[in-house]
């Protein structure tokens, strides 16, 4: 089944601004570049990861009205939750594992802690989006048969008063205009952060940390990625990023890439992955 055709970009949205489009293009470029020398590898990986996230959240935004018109909310909201969770999880991983490791091994503390502070300029509104999507979906008929593949939000997130603080009321059903309006409040800040972060992890940071320590970090990162539930992590990543880039970044065994992803994990939520750019990557032919 092919990808759903991408709806037009509303002229008032962040996606129509030159700044966002330049950031998207810069991230996307990395997914088509060969693996660089070790000094530039970390920034290259981060740009590719940021391309995955911007691509996913852009689709959450753009498909909101279509999903209502097509009466496909169970799939669309499921996809959307995975998309937002990918970004949430990325920041959490940076804050708890990646940046502390880099600081401990010689990276400039102030720049990396600055990245963490930047996260907090938009993550509460983003987490509220996650809660809204999750709760609206949970109220749909059939949600119990197709439970979200994403883990429960932690207690801190659960306590966000999404109705009082943000006017996001799941009991009123899904409101695509409201979702887009709310996303407009944080997407620009998120994009700025994702672009600025790249400057803090270039060669001056990698040289301070050293090649051997970065290799060790690579091992830690891979272990984390491989421990995520493939039903949300691998499926949405494969269906978004080109396969050569997936292979270089994830280094999955043949059996996982060619058999488990297409034949075991992708099937149950196939309707979600049609909101991704490349659902064909979740097939036998696409994983070659
Ligand atoms: Fe990042
Ligand atoms: Fe970040």
The model carries a pTM of 0.96
Ligand 2 centre to CA of 247 (Å) is 23
Q: What is the pLDDT of residue 5?
A: 95
Looking at the chain, the whole-number percentage of residues with pLDDT higher than 70 is: 100
Taken in order 48, 198, 94, 40, the sign of the CA dihedral is positive
For residue 154, what are its two tokens?
């932690």
Ligand 2 centre to CA of 115 (Å) is 6
Q: Which ligand gives the minimal distance to the CA of 118?
A: 2
Task: Read off the pLDDT of residues 161-216 as tens digits, 9 standing for 90 and up.
Answer: 999 999 999 999 999 999 999 999 999 999 999 999 999 999 999 999 999 999 99
Q: How confident is the model at residue 251 (pLDDT cuts 50, 70, 90)?
A: confident
Ligand 1 centre to CA of 48 (Å) is 10
Q: What dihedral do alpha carbons 177, 182, 188, 190 form, nearest 10°?
A: -130
Identify whether the C-beta of residue 126 lies closer than 8 Å to the C-beta of residue 186: yes
Q: Which residues contact 34 (CB under 8 A, 6 or more apart)?
A: none
Q: What is the pLDDT of residue 122?
A: 97
The gap from C-alpha 266 to its chain's centroid, in whole angstroms, comes to 17
Span 30-46, average pLDDT? 94
Q: How far apart are CA 28 and CA 216, in angstroms?
A: 26
Ligand 1 centre to CA of 253 (Å) is 25
The gap from C-alpha 105 to its chain's centroid, in whole angstroms, comes to 27
Q: Which residues contact 152 (CB under 8 A, 6 or more apart)?
A: 158
Q: What is the pLDDT of residue 1?
A: 75
**DSSP 8-state code for residue 167:** -
Q: Which residues contact 93 (CB under 8 A, 6 or more apart)?
A: 224
Q: Which ligand gives the minimal distance to the CA of 50?
A: 1
Domain boundaries, the chain: 15-231
Ligand 1 centre to CA of 91 (Å) is 6
pLDDT tops 80 at residue 58: yes
Place of tokens 């880039």: 245
Q: What is the pLDDT of residue 71?
A: 97
Q: What is the pLDDT of residue 248?
A: 86
Q: Which ligand gives the minimal distance to the CA of 119?
A: 2
Ligand 1 centre to CA of 139 (Å) is 32
Ligand 1 centre to CA of 71 (Å) is 34
């Amino acid at each position: 089944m092919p990808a759903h055709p991408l709806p037009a970009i509303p002229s008032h949205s962040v996606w129509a601004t030159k700044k966002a489009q330049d950031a998207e293009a810069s991230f996307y470029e990395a997914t088509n570049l060969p693996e660089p020398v070790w000094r530039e590898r970390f920034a290259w990986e981060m740009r590719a990861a940021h391309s995955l996230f911007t691509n996913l959240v852009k689709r959450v935004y753009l498909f909101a009205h279509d999903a209502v018109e097509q009466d496909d909310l169970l799939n669309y909201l499921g996809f959307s939750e995975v998309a937002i969770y990918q970004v949430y999880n990325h920041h959490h991983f940076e804050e708890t594992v990646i940046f502390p490791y880099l600081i401990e091994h010689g990276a400039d503390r102030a720049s990396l802690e600055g990245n963490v502070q930047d996260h907090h300029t938009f993550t509460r509104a983003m987490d509220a989006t996650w809660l809204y999507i999750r709760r609206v979906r949970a109220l749909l008929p059939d949600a119990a048969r197709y439970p979200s593949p994403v883990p429960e939000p932690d207690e801190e997130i659960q306590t966000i008063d999404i109705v009082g603080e943000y006017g996001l009321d799941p009991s009123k059903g899904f409101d695509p205009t409201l979702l887009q309006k709310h996303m407009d409040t944080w997407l620009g800040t998120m994009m700025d952060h994702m672009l600025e972060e790249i400057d803090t992890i270039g060669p001056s940071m990698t040289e301070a940390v050293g090649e051997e320590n970065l290799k060790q970090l690579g091992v830690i990162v891979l272990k984390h990625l491989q421990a995520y539930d493939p039903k949300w992590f691998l499926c949405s990543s494969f269906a978004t990023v080109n396969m050569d880039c997936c292979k270089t970044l994830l280094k999955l065994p043949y059996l996982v890439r060619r058999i488990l992803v297409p034949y075991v994990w992708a099937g149950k939520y196939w309707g979600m992955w049609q909101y991704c750019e490349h659902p064909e990557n979740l097939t036998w032919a696409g994983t070659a």
